[in-house]
Amino acid sequence: MGKKFLESSLEEELKRGNKLFIPYVMAGDGGIDTLITTLKKLEEGGATAIEVGIPFSDPVADGPTIQEAGKRALEKGTTLRKVFDKLIEGRKEIGIPLIFMTYINPIYKYGVERFFDDCNKAGVDGVIIPDLPLEHYDLVKQPSKEKEIAIIQLATLTSPLERVKELASVTEGFLYAVTINGITGTREGFAENISRHLIKLKSNSPVPVLAGFGISSPDHVRSMSESCDGVVVGSKIIDLIQKDSFDEIRELIGASKTGAFHS
């Protein structure tokens, strides 16, 4: 488990000729006891890894769908401690990497060293912290390295080339390419220059580049994957889990597999 497990899992999937597909779930949406079952269903559906959101009262990067999922989870009494406990209990049932998506405030409140120690115990392989700029990376650098937990950086559409190179040089596991200017949520379309942006990131990154934010259809998955290594899908997955539409989730994931795209 840990950073090496995340990196090797992504590498193996790409070697098979597939693109990477990372669905996002909100821990505790539907109650904490549903978490392991949901993760298993996503793994069975072909997910490469799974991003697990930690509910937080002030999620600055999240759109309405993920905000609402977070509210439902908080109303069910979900806490970071309960998420760790549930994973410690059931992680062995999941055979793919798990990545936390959380904000710096809950990590700080929990205790930075204790957080990464418990990530290690719970089999969390990487962490995305969207409100932690590179300038403050030192807040988590040492404890995450000691426990071998990947810290995944985000590059935005407005990141200049120098910034992209800086982010790509320190990101671990993959580089998260934000595909829209704004918060998460499903979109009908993307900026015309998006493929150019993804190709720029890809040509400057030593690790895979995954596109995320706004991806909501098999066509989106295919078109984004032509310019990078795969996708992260959040709001659409939350919607489909709410409707218990795992067939549609499998269809989305299937769009990332060999033969589904032209690269």
Annotated catalytic residues are 51, 62
- By DSSP bridging, strand 209-212 and strand 20-26 are unpaired
Distance CA 24, CA 189 (A): 20
3-state class of 82 per DSSP? helix
- By DSSP bridging, strand 150-152 and strand 20-26 are unpaired
Strand order in the sheet with 98-101: 150-152, 126-128, 98-101, 50-53, 20-26, 230-233, 209-212, 175-178, 154-155
Residue 186 DSSP one-character state: -
- By DSSP bridging, strand 126-128 and strand 150-152 are parallel
